[in-house]
Amino acid sequence: MFRTLFGMGPKVDLKALKDQGATILDVRTTGEYAGGHVKGSINIPLDQLAGKLKKLPKDKPVIACCLSGGRSGSAVSLLKAEGYEAYNGGGWASLDRILKG
């Protein structure tokens, strides 16, 4: 229930998606992002995402992350509504560990 509530859905191999070219989208504020982030990720704060969708390629999956998974869950809902293949990667630090693993 908790995973579904935050847009995480069924377990997905996020590392495999990244290896296949998925875009990592960090939806935290620019200040939070400056304090640490997944290498190669794109930072578009959640409150600006709707107006900046053109910065994200639609032909690749998007893995959204934030601090804990709440904002990235909202981002995934927005992205899916706009026709993107999107996944909630949860908190950026744990996602970073998964992608490096």
Provide φ and ψ at 56, rounded to 5°: -105, 125
88 contact partners, CB below 8 Å, separation of at least 6: 6, 7, 8, 9, 63, 64, 65, 69, 72, 73, 75, 76
- pLDDT (tens, 9 = 90+) of the chain, 101 residues, equals 344 444 445 578 999 999 999 999 999 999 999 999 999 999 999 999 999 999 999 999 999 999 999 999 999 999 999 999 999 999 999 999 999 98
pTM (2 d.p.): 0.89
pLDDT the model gives residue 2: 44
Class in CATH terms, 2-100? alpha beta
| Domain residue extents for the chain | 2-100
pLDDT at 11: 77
